[in-house]
A and B are shown apart, each in its own frame.
Chain A
Amino acid sequence: MSFFLLILVLQWITGFGIMASIGTRLPRPLSIPLAPLVGMFVHTLAVFVVDLLPWGIGQVSITVAAVVMLVVAHARWPVVMAWYRELLAAPRWTLSMADLVVIIAGAIVGYVVSWASWFWPVTPFDAMAGIDLVARQTVVEGTINNRVFTDPSLAGHLSNQPFYAPFAMLMQVIYRLLGFGYGQVWLAVSAICFSAFLYNAMRMWAHPVIAGVLWLLAILTPEMLGYTYLLQTDYLNAVFLSSAVILLTASAEREEVQAWALAAVLFAAAAWSRTETIMVVFMGLLASIPVLWNHVERRTMWRALGLSAGAGLATFVLWNGYYLPVVLPVRPDTASELTMFSFERFGQVAGDLWSSVIVQPELWGWTFPLFALGLVGSLILNRTLRPLLPLVWIASILLALTVVGTVFTAAVVEQTLRRGIFKLIPLMMFWLAAMPLVVGWSKRLRAWETGS
């Protein structure tokens, strides 16, 4: 337990150090829950580097890697120190009684999720046949390049499962080395951190009661809820991608937020958590250009978009362009799973995605109807769809998912694309919280509450 806490604290502080070093300006309610997520991502990169060195992956080396990352993240000490001074300044509490109710309800869910991720063994087929199979053997042999990829009994049977998610695989390695029989507890850590981040992000725009309602609807979304303690890559991917988009939006919309570079780090984490995400990142960044064009300084915009594209591409290439073809003795047979793009198939996938996935309230609860209502209400009553960034990302994600379903035969609509929708849920709820109609209601509610 103390080893787990040590690594968690090291990751957390590393996250703070990185935020500070790259010039992030972020309110504490956002930076505090985001720091462990950044730290986890960076720690997996460090463990990956350890794998390339002759020492081998073990308890000592993952701890040394975490300490080295922490030191490197704090290398610009004068800058970091000034940042910590602000972080540790006396807080200005804005907690309301309604917040407490929401936090207690969320804490109950968080407790059960933590327990379930600790208690239950790894369940999803994809994880047992892929990332956790590799992770378990990595713990035994001290290297990712292990017997899973060379044993004749598995030759030709690996499919693509062991290859597409280095982040989750390395987190499994770290947490198995920490002594958790099934790894997995990091799922709860990331779900809790992301949920706290999302709540606080919504609260920046909306009244605590409205933010609380939307947040509870987001975290209790039926299909997503189970994946907070099931080892799959999609929830994690949604965590990183939607956090990055929320930070982009906040950086563009709010004076007190400057987190363009941090968004780039999170895009890199998203591409590190699922291979095909690089396509979503590029499509979303391209679609962001017209939105940001008249909204932020051009130089800032190009730097932000370039940094995000570069960071996402870097982690993608590190794994798919270097490790898989150069280091591992076998490669995923991706080519055999690719098919030519055709508009007919695209239309069929889009139709299936709509009928079998999107219009299923037992999967997504009220998210899609509320979002549609929000769009119509905002257009009629406010004649605007602002903030536009989450919307262009939602459209980009949908388009990218449909393209993936069209060209990858292994991407089944009812499974792969269904879980891909996870990326949309936090963004839709965040957009609802930040749209002018809700902001207007929030102001009126706040005025009533304060009697002003």
Chain B
Amino acid sequence: MAPQRSSLAASTAGSRPTFFSVRAVILAAVMLAFVTVLPRYDLGGWNPYAASYQSRIEFYADRMDSLVRVSTWRQRLFLRHVGNYEIPMWIATHRRATDVIQLPPRSYAARYLQADPIWTDPRIFTYFADFQPIVAWTDLPRRPLANTWVALEPGGIALVRRDGTTDIDSLLQEYQRSEVGGLP
């Protein structure tokens, strides 16, 4: 059977307009008006493109010069992820060679971090701080291996051990209570 091509195939082919003519200028002006209005004017809530463009493109375009001064990869990681990057890095640099660190439940960490504390997920912890001897809170079979715990307080963090001054059992109870209480 022979192919039946669409009659649309002709479409806009045919006579070619010149690049510069009065009508070409009019069409370009219409286009210019559209590209000016679409990303800039909210039009009384009718134009959702404006807000999105301003937050996703214009925001960065305006700050490019100052942001580029944040020059190292590590600084940019901190700029973007703040505590979620800083805490795993702090733990990785302050742990002792023999430490096996129990990551706290997310609900516990959420009480001390404004952002969602995704660093308590072992994958995210590893992503930021590389492979470390850690035990996820949900990893029940490996929990007994942990000998170091993360104690948080407003604006502070500590690694606590059995031989220290912190009562580990009450810290663990706090971990568990946070789960019962859920995310704040």
Contacts and interface: CB of A to CB of B under 8 A. Distances in A.
Given A158-B123, A205-B11, A212-B31, A365 B5 contact: no
B80 A253 contact: no
Interface string B12-26: 101111011101110
The secondary structure that dominates the B interface is helix
Nearest to A229: B56
A161 B123 CA distance: 10
B1 A298 contact: yes
A95 interface: yes
Size range of the chain A interface in the assembly: 35 or more
A207 interface: yes
A362 B48 CA distance: 5
Contact of A442 (B9, B12, B20): B12
Contacts of A147: 131
Interface stretch (B132-140, B148-156, B163-171): B132-140
Given A94-B16, A152-B142, A220 B39 contact: yes
Contact of A157 (B4, B81, B138): B138
Given A105-B35, A157-B123, A365-B48, A98 B76 contact: no
B89 interface: no
B101 to A, nearest CB: 9
Interface string A140-179: 0000000110011111111001000000000000000000
A153 B31 contact: no
B8 A205 contact: yes
B48 A222 contact: yes
A253 B3 CA distance: 10
A451 B16 CA distance: 11
Interface of B: 1-6, 8-9, 11-12, 14-17, 19-21, 23-25, 27-28, 30-32, 34-35, 38-39, 48-49, 51-53, 56-57, 60-61, 64, 67-68, 73, 76-77, 80-81, 118, 121-124, 126-127, 131-136, 138-139, 142
Interface of A: 94-98, 100-102, 105, 108-109, 112-113, 115-116, 119-121, 123, 125, 128-130, 132-133, 136, 147-148, 151-158, 161, 181-182, 204-209, 212-213, 216-217, 220-223, 225-226, 252-255, 294-298, 300, 361-362, 365-366, 386-387, 434, 436, 439, 442-443, 445-452
